[in-house]
Each structure stands twice: as structure tokens, then as C-alpha cells.
Amino acid sequence: MSELTPYDTGARLEPQVWVHGAVTSPNGDARTAVPGDFGRVDFDNDESATIATVYIEPATASTGFTLHITQHTDDYLHVVGAQEPPVVQREDPPQDPDYCVQQGLHLMDRLQRVGEEFDDHVFFTFEGDPNAFEPGHMYFVPAAGRDGSCFAVEERYASPTEWTEYQPVPLCWDWFEYGPARTPEGGTVMRLQAQGTTVPSDIERLIERARSWASEHAERAAAAEALERSRFLARYHAANPRTL
């Protein structure tokens, strides 16, 4: 009998790379890999349940890297060894009301453009009312088969109802990213995966994050559609061999 490995005993989680060549199958169904798949690694326990998905990419700043972790369980996850990012000293533009309003209008315009760019697979709206229902004033969701995943932006004001005025003066923007997480029973639920707050002077970083979310979901939707088309054609030709 062979000796059990640390993967077998659960002493180490087993890495499962998403992309093999140009093919990926993170959910069991093989499909053509999209750019957002590359670099992602699932870490499975000895029961073959995925605990977390991890990938690393260059940071938005000129140097450094960002480690992304999507946790799929409620277990405690302790990250060891990461260095604190350097403190960036900069002079922010004065946060006067006109500047804040201008940045808010710029944000809405750019997010609308992102929505138009990926409107085949992603739906965007800027008519949300977080005081009445979730998720925010502006948000993106998958255009088809909405599963609860979304990227939402909520404006913050001095008064909770100030946003109903003609040109409200935003203080900052809170953003939230929801995505699927695996349950111990093998199902999936939607959970908050990332969140943050953006000040008016840093609005471009929020726009880029929203675009990355929309691009990644559009790529996955397009890949899923291509897989479904290939399966349909395979079934059709199997049922109608003379059409080949």
C-alpha cells in the first residue's frame, strides 16, 4: 500500500490550475479559455471540495502585485507573508462641491460607456435606489441568466436623501462585488467577495475595476454560448448524419 501524500491527508490543499493549453474547465465543462481564466488556481481539500480560488496580477500602481482570493467556504482563512503596500503620498485635488459633482458625472458617463461596450452579455443601470432595495445607485449584472452576481456602486452624501436632488454633491462611492461561493453541500450561494470606498480624486481606479468585472463576465458568457452552440451542433449532426 502506498504511503499517503500530504494532499491525501489534508495537510496541504491540492492546486488545480484552471487553464491547460487553451482549454479550461473550472466547473467541470471544458471550454475555450478566456483571458480572465489564466492564472487562476483552485485549492481543493482532501475531499475534493474547493476552498479558494487564487490568482496574482500586476498592481495598478507602477510596481508591485495584487493577490486575489475568492473564498468558497465560511472557514477561517489566514493569509501569511504578504507585505503591506507602500504608502503613496500625493496631493489630492481640493474636494470642493463643483469638483465632486464633476467627478460624479464623469463616473456615470464612463460606466454607461462600459455598459454599452459589453451590452451583449452585461446589463448596466444607473437608476438604482439603495434606500429602497439593493444593490446600489449604479450596477452591472449578467444580461442573461442572472444568478445574483453583480458589481454595484453606491454614492455617499452628507444626507441619505440628498441624491434625489438635481445635482447632488457626492462625498465618495462605495462599491461591492458579489459572486458565487461553494457551500459544503456542493451547491453555490452569492456572497460579497470584495468591497471598497473611492474618493473623488481616485475615480479612474473605480472605473477600471468596473470595466474589468464587465469584461470578465462578458468573456465567460461568450465562452459558455460558444460551448452551447458546439453541443447543439453535435447533437444536430448526430441526429441528422446526412447533413454533414
Instruction: Evaluate if residue 49 carries a pLDDT over 70.
Output: yes
Q: What percent of the chain has pLDDT over 90?
A: 18
The larger pLDDT score, comparing residue 204 to residue 35, is at 204
Which of the two residues, 55 and 190, has the higher pLDDT score? 55
pLDDT band at 45 (very low <50, low <70, confident <90, very high): confident
The pLDDT of residue 81: 77
- Could you give the angle at the alpha carbon of 151 between the alpha carbons of 193 and 37, nearest 5°? 65
Residues 6+ apart with CB under 8 A from 170: 100, 101, 103, 104, 155, 156, 157, 163, 200
pLDDT value at 151 more than 90: yes
The per-residue pLDDT for 109 is 94
Beta bridge partners of 18: none
pLDDT tens figures, 78-135: 887 777 666 555 445 556 888 888 999 999 999 999 999 998 889 998 877 666 666 7
pLDDT confidence of residue 192: 81
Flag whether pLDDT at 233 surpasses 70: yes
Give the pLDDT of residue 86: 61
pLDDT, averaged across the chain: 80
Q: What is the pLDDT of residue 127?
A: 78
Q: How sure is the predictor about 9, in pLDDT bands with cuts at 50, 70 and 90?
A: confident
Span 48-74, average pLDDT: 79
Q: Domain residues of the chain, as ranges?
A: 1-76, 94-234
Q: What is the reported pTM?
A: 0.62
3-state secondary structure the chain: CCCCCHHHHCCCCEEEECEECCEECCCCCCEECCHHHCCCEEEECCCCCEEEEEEEEECCCCCCEEEEEEECCCCCCCCCCCCCCCCCCCCCCCCCHHHHHHHHHHHHHHHHHHHHHCCCCEEEECCCCCCCCCCCCEEEEECCCCCCCEEEEEEECCCCCHHHCCCCCCCEEEEEEEEEEECCCCCEEEEEEEEEEECHHHHHHHHHHHHHHHHHHHHHHHHHHHHHHHHHHHHHHHHCHHHC
Q: Beta strand pairing status for 41-44 and 65-71?
A: unpaired
Angle, vertex CA 238, rays to CA 232 and CA 244, nearest 5: 95
Q: What is the largest CA-CA distance in the chain?
A: 75
Which of 57, 61, 51, 60 lies closest to 37 in space, CA to CA? Answer: 57
Q: What is the model's pLDDT at position 135?
A: 77
